[in-house]
Structures are given as structure tokens and as C-alpha cells.
């Protein structure tokens, strides 16, 4: 019991003796924390006019912020006279680094992939992309994962390695998009009239001259209940939502135009044709009716 009390007394004396060092170390850590945040904001604002890619700016500012904080942490440990501990950590890092690297292959791969993605010119925050079965706006590209905000406002978090190794479609790289619309008309319709009316309706609602293009129209097949056609045209768009809106508007306007000209868009029907004409007034028919 006396030894325990003596040990506690020694710890108390050491703690009281090192209170100034503890205070200085705490102040250094606090200053390093706020300095790292300030550096983060400063670098982001400084690079906003020089680097267009937001992901690159975020990466640089985060790395600089981490370096500042780690430097402050190192100074604080030095003030507390943890030099021997730091040396032991550094010497052990060489041996344990191999083991940790093997254990964290996936994490390191995602980190490296995040750095690569941050410097890609064809992918940036704010772009509308489609990859790995998901489509939406790129919200964040960090050192671990890739965040997409879908049209239904759900967030999709995808590992960077998956994005880097998979093909993706970036709708924001161009300001125009082609819309393909399929439809069908009744067999009795005037096909030349259908083509002319469809082309004119699309041209009136979606000006194709600004793109240097024209409305494409092709009859594609004799369907079960209709003659089907494909119409393709261009719209101004940087994401898939605009394409859906354009296609919806085209369907509405084509339906209005067809209704005005009495052109039917048929639904699947089945026609029964009787080749043997039976006269109900004949003797055979009368006998059949009397029997039943």
C-alpha cells in the first residue's frame, strides 16, 4: 500500500511539474487545428481561379490542412518530451508498414484511386454521370469514396477503385444530347403524312438549326397492330433529366398533332375474320337452332 501511495505521489509531482508543458502543448494543438482550417479555406479560395476542377482544389487543401495539423501535433509531442516515443514510432513504422499495407490493400487502392480521379479532366464535382448502374450528380470526390446524388435525392457512395476500373458516362461534357423516340401508327394511316407531321412538330418545339442538325425519321417495322417508326432529334442538355423532359414534351406534342389530323396510335388488337358465310335464314341454320 505504501508503494502504491508513493507511486501515485510521484505521478502527482510529475504532473504538477509538467503542467506548463501540458498547457503549451494544448495551445499548440488548438492553434494547429484552427490554422489547418484557415489554410484549407485560404488554399481553396486561392486555387478557385487557377484550377477549374473542384476535386483537385479539395484534394490540395485537405492535404495541406493535414500537414499543418500533423506538424502542430509533432511540436506538441516535442514540448511534452515524447521524442523517444516518436523515434520508436518512426522506427517501428518501417517494419509494421509492410504488414499494414498488406492488410489495407483495399483502402490504399481507394486512396490512390481518389487521387487519380481528382486530377481527371473529364470528371468533376457537379457533373451528371452514369456508372455502375447508378446515375446522378457528383457531390464529392475524396480519398476514399465517390458520392453521387441520384434524381430521387438518394446518395450513392461508391469506392474510388470501382469508379476508376469501370466505364462511366458523363452527360456534362457536352451541352447537347440526342433523344430517340419510338412510336407506331395504324396501318390505314398516310405514312408520308405521318413523317411530315412528326418532323414538323419536333422542329417547331425543338429548334434543330442551332445544332446544325435535322430531325431524323425512319419507319422501322410492320408491327402486330401498327407500323412503327423511330424519330431522333437534338436538345440542349447537360444531364439525363433534361433528356427525359425533352422526350416527355415530344410525346405530348406528337399526340396532339396526331389527334388533330385523326391519326391513330393503335394498341394491340386481334381481328377475327369468318370466311364461311352462314345464312341464318337457311334451312340448315334453322334446323341447327331448333336442335339447340
Instruction: Map out the domains of the chain with their CATH numbers.
Output: 2-103 (no CATH), 122-171 (2.30.30.60), 174-260 (3.30.70.100)
Q: Give residue 284's pLDDT band: very low, low, confident or very high (50, 70, 90).
A: low
How many Å apart are CA 196 and CA 215, to the nearest integer? 10
- Alpha-carbon dihedral sign for residues 123, 128, 131, 134: positive
User: What pLDDT is stored for residue 94 in this prediction?
Assistant: 58
pLDDT in tens, 201-227: 999 999 888 888 889 999 999 988 899
Q: Give residue 230's pLDDT band: very low, low, confident or very high (50, 70, 90).
A: very high
At a CB cut-off of 8 Å and minimum separation 6, what does 163 contact?
113, 117, 131, 132, 146
The Cα-based distances of 26 to 77, 198, 224 in angstroms read: 10, 74, 80
Which has the closest alpha carbon to 284: 292, 201, 242?
Answer: 292
Torsion, Cα 231 237 239 243, to 10 degrees, reads -30
For residue 132, is pLDDT > 80? yes
Q: Which three cell numbers stand for residue 174?
A: 457536352
pLDDT in tens, 21-55: 778 888 888 888 888 888 888 877 777 766 666 66
* DSSP track, 187-213: TTS-HHHHHHHHHHHHHHHS--GGGT-
E strand or H helix at 217, and its extent?
A: strand 216-222
Instruction: Judge contact between 229 and 183, C-beta under 8 A.
Output: yes
Q: 153 has which bridge partners?
A: none
For residue 180, is pLDDT > 80? yes
104 φ/ψ angles, rounded to the nearest 5 degrees: -115, 40
- Alpha-carbon dihedral sign for residues 125, 131, 132, 133: positive
User: What pLDDT is stored for residue 254 in this prediction?
Assistant: 94
Q: 196 has which bridge partners?
A: none
The Cα-based distances of 145 to 1, 70, 115, 133, 219 in angstroms read: 55, 23, 11, 16, 46
Q: Comparing 11-20, 70-79, 154-163, which segment has the lowest mean pLDDT?
A: 11-20
What are the CB-based long-range contacts (under 8 Å, 24+) for 248-253? 249/205, 250/179, 250/181, 250/201, 250/202, 250/205, 250/206, 251/181, 253/201, 253/202, 253/204, 253/205
pTM for the structure as a whole: 0.51
How many Å apart are CA 186 and CA 193, to the nearest integer? 12
Identify which has the larger pLDDT, 68 or 252.
252
For residue 228, is pLDDT > 60? yes
For residue 56, is pLDDT > 70? no
User: What pLDDT is stored for residue 194 in this prediction?
Assistant: 93
How many Å apart are CA 219 and CA 195, to the nearest integer? 9
Q: Comparing 11-20, 73-82, 187-196, 231-240, which segment has the lowest mean pLDDT?
A: 11-20
Which has the closest alpha carbon to 223: 177, 266, 262?
Answer: 266
User: What pLDDT is stored for residue 200 in this prediction?
Assistant: 93
Amino acid at each position: 500500500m505504501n508503494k502504491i501511495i508513493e507511486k501515485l505521489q510521484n505521478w502527482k509531482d510529475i504532473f504538477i511539474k509538467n503542467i506548463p508543458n501540458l498547457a503549451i502543448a494544448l495551445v499548440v494543438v488548438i492553434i494547429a487545428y484552427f490554422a489547418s482550417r484557415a489554410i484549407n479555406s485560404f488554399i481553396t479560395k486561392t486555387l478557385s481561379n487557377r484550377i477549374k476542377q473542384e476535386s483537385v482544389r479539395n484534394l490540395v487543401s485537405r492535404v495541406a490542412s493535414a500537414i499543418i495539423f500533423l506538424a502542430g501535433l509533432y511540436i506538441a509531442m516535442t514540448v511534452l518530451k515524447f521524442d523517444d516515443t516518436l523515434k520508436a514510432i518512426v522506427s517501428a513504422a518501417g517494419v509494421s508498414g509492410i504488414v499494414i499495407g498488406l492488410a489495407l490493400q483495399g483502402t490504399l487502392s481507394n486512396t490512390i484511386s481518389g487521387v487519380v480521379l481528382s486530377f481527371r479532366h473529364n470528371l468533376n464535382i457537379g457533373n451528371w454521370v452514369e456508372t455502375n448502374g447508378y446515375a446522378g450528380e457528383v457531390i464529392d470526390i475524396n480519398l476514399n469514396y465517390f458520392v453521387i446524388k441520384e434524381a430521387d435525392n438518394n446518395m450513392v457512395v461508391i469506392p474510388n477503385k470501382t469508379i476508376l476500373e469501370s466505364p462511366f458516362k458523363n452527360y456534362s461534357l457536352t451541352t447537347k444530347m440526342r433523344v430517340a423516340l419510338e412510336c407506331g401508327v395504324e396501318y390505314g394511316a398516310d405514312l408520308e403524312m405521318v413523317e411530315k407531321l412528326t418532323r414538323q412538330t419536333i422542329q417547331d418545339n425543338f429548334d434543330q438549326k442551332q445544332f446544325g442538325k435535322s430531325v431524323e425519321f425512319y419507319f422501322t417495322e410492320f408491327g402486330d397492330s401498327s407500323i412503327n417508326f423511330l424519330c431522333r432529334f437534338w436538345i440542349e442538355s447537360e444531364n439525363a433529366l433534361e433528356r427525359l423532359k425533352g422526350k416527355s414534351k415530344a410525346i405530348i406534342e406528337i399526340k396532339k398533332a396526331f389527334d388533330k389530323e385523326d391519326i391513330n396510335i393503335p394498341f394491340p388488337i386481334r381481328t377475327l375474320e369468318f370466311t364461311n358465310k352462314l345464312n341464318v335464314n337457311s334451312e340448315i341454320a334453322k334446323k341447327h337452332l331448333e336442335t339447340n
